[in-house]
Structure 1
């Protein structure tokens, strides 16, 4: 337990975005309130002016970047925030998940060591920071089959395009700003089919560490597009070693070890990296040759779609010291929805951008110490 002079006095919901949709803002408020309850402190919403105070507990809407002056906050460890902090913009995105093409342009702070050390956890692909490098990378990857082009700032699977020929890349590049591309990057990787997306993660809050594996579900939004629809998680008390003690199927055990390798490479190569919320999307599917492939698609060192389940699980583990394992899930339903009796509602309404939407979480199964 922290000493009285180190105890947190306020939770600060730190909105770092130019625009946050209504439904996300509503969810963030409820998450902040529940984190405040876990920590036993009050909640501050969008303070007009922040004093640099080590007694604040921050909940940023995105991974914090040291290179941005407004993010020079008093964050010294993973006990100071729910989320993460890195030193350069590209480190906060899926751009870290692949190496550069040979001779490619690189942003400030880029290191090839991450991709080398995490190579067994990655799919085949490249990260690029110029349009010329994007063309080069696409030409190399297309020799083996279709290529998925992934804007690094897009979320929930939006904005991705699969191309079969190099000519299909040009219309996509025309829409991209050269400066933004040079700062944030673009990912091109082998396209898998029959894909199942797994989640592996960890949260560290109020002296507790929980680790989990799970699956993601897709749904269709009000425009008929296939998007993220929720996560189903198995959480255990403790680190990844506790997770590996579960009787996991081979593909799940591989996903956990790949997430661990990816995270260890980040800790070794990204100076100043801090994260209390760590989530990794691992894709398992078939490549064009029909072989099963598995690799980390991206990291989420920030509030994510599974965070409502994570926070409910933290509360359950805090309230029941003998609890060792539980199942929790998040759900995003477009259109009208009838909520189950055990749902904890985080948002329900007619969002001005997405239309009618419900977001809720559930605690399902509990396993206690014998």
Structure 2
């Protein structure tokens, strides 16, 4: 075993089987380089699966790893990666947020029916389905309460792969358009839709013996096709774990978001022994249901490099300064506007005004320290 705080080599790891855009790969590479720089470690570039990594490696995967992948790489705990490890691959996706419509519904091996009970009240009304029949059953139950339902494909990111249904007919059309093999393998979430919704980010990172927690909001932008997509996150960050975030809460809504995220985090650890993560991010939505009542619930988790990770790392850099702040405000932004330029002092992760798909620019910066502008 290497001694504590021994020098390490940081590698990016392309674990995801889905194609990743140029800006996502650029973001992952930037995170790995920045972590290496902040921790005083070496940067080893992309890990080649056929070669053995250097002694005492540290990985930055583009996906939450399953136990088999982690074991093959020698990852034993949260100190060995920026991300997380789950006992079964499906645990890393949004499908664990809800239970299935009934006990006869198909589920993958290792599924925990107990988790849905632990999460009751911490998430929105909804179900997970792995076949078209379960989608119909779940959707009809939700539609009976009024309003629309949202169908979310498990593997989609950044607001993509989501569909709204207002009645049984539109729900059937959505189900018919889904790839049956992908549905059976990965599943979908069918969930109550909220109007006038805002999404809060609650999370923490644990890196090289340091622990930071944050509370923030997600931004929405319009892409070049007129669709609303993820546009970045603004975070308020302090030292410690999620149990310290009450000091940052400004209202009852934020205090509720923190409590729900912590409950979700604890429920997963109880349901799936062996899970561990050094990066934990929870999306908590608040909005109005069909009756105009305020609802709040955790949408999903992220235990990998995510949209907010650049903001997390520029905040970490501030806390590593000799005069450590009590709190930091950090942001990362994505824009699809070719005319958008990064502001002074920002760390630019990706910038290509000619990019054919996705954002043309992504940057991160510290906005304020201890409540004052940076």
Judge same fold: TM > 0.5, yes or no.
yes
**1:213-228 pair list within 5 angstroms:** 213-228=215-230
| Map of 1:43 onto structure 2 | 43
**1:282-301 pair list within 5 angstroms:** 282-301=284-303
> How many matched pairs?
366
- SS at the partner of 2:6? coil
Q: Distance in 1 between matches of 2:86 and 2:7?
A: 22
Pair 1:359–1:286, CA change in 2 (3 A): same
1:115 Cα deviation from its structure 2 partner: 1.6
1:348 has 2:351 as partner: yes
Contact 1:32 1:59 in 2 (8 A): yes
Q: 2:273 aligns with which of 271, 274, 288?
A: 271
| Map of 2:333 onto structure 1 | 331
| Map of 1:89 onto structure 2 | 89
1:360 has 2:363 as partner: yes
Contact 1:9 1:55 in 2 (8 A): yes
1:182 Cα deviation from its structure 2 partner: 2.3
Q: Distance in 2 between matches of 1:3 and 1:80?
A: 12
- SS at the partner of 1:121? coil
Unaligned runs of 5+ in 1: none
Residue-by-residue CA offset, 1:45-93 (whole Å, 9 max, x unaligned): 22333427771101000111225x5873211111110011111122111
Q: TM-score, normalised by structure 2?
A: 0.93
1:150 has 2:149 as partner: no
Residue-by-residue CA offset, 1:127-165 (whole Å, 9 max, x unaligned): 111111111101111101211111111111112111011
Q: Distance in 2 between matches of 1:211 and 1:356?
A: 27
Residue-by-residue CA offset, 1:250-295 (whole Å, 9 max, x unaligned): 0000000000000000111112211111100000000001110000
| Map of 1:174 onto structure 2 | 176
Contact 2:236 2:248 in 1 (8 A): no
Q: TM-score, normalised by structure 1?
A: 0.94
Q: Distance in 2 between matches of 1:8 and 1:100?
A: 46
| Map of 1:132 onto structure 2 | 133
Unaligned runs of 5+ in 2: none
Residue-by-residue CA offset, 1:170-219 (whole Å, 9 max, x unaligned): 33223323332222111001110010111101000011100011001100
Q: Distance in 2 between matches of 1:164 and 1:57?
A: 47
1:122 Cα deviation from its structure 2 partner: 0.7
Pair 1:350–1:338, CA change in 2 (3 A): closer
Q: Distance in 1 between matches of 2:354 and 2:109?
A: 38
Contact 1:327 1:366 in 2 (8 A): yes
| Map of 1:107 onto structure 2 | 108
Q: What is the root-mean-square deviation of aligned Cα atoms in Å?
A: 2.0
